[in-house]
Amino acid sequence: MTVQELIDSGMFAVENVGEGTDREITQPFCCDLLSVAMGRAPERGAWVTVMGNMNTLAVASLTETACIILAEGAVLDEVAKKKAKEQEITVLSTDEPIFEAALRIWQKQKEMQGNA
C-alpha cells in the first residue's frame, strides 16, 4: 500500500500531505521513544505515535519514514505544523489508540495484497 492509498482509504484524518505519497509503506511501526525510533523505525514505515513535535519530524526525516500517524487525539504543535509543511512530511491523525491504528494499517496492507 502506498502513502496515497492510505490517505485515500479515509481511515485517518489528513494533517499534512508531503512528498513521496507514491512510496510503498513497508509496515506500521509503534513507538513513543525517539531514541528507539531513531534506531528501529523501518525505512518507509508508517510511524504511529502520540508525539506531535519537531523532534518527531526530525526522526521521521532521518529514518525515511513514509508517514506519521498521530494517535489518541495527539496533534502537531504550531511549530511542528509549519515544519511538516516545509519539509513535506505526510502527517495523518486519529483518535484511536496506537495499537489499533497500527493494526488497521497492517490489516489494510494484507487486504490489498490479497487483491493484488
Backbone angles phi, psi at 22, to 5 degrees: -90, 0
The pLDDT value given to residue 50: 97
Angle at the Cα of 99 (from 32 to 92), degrees rounded to 5?
A: 70
The pLDDT value given to residue 116: 61
Below-50 pLDDT ranges, the chain = none
The pLDDT value given to residue 115: 72
Helices (H) and strands (E) in the chain, counts: 5, 5
**The model's pTM:** 0.95
Are 18 and 84 spatial neighbours (Cβ–Cβ below 8 Å)?
A: yes
The pLDDT value given to residue 114: 85
- Residue of 71, 107, 80 whose CA lies nearest to 115: 107
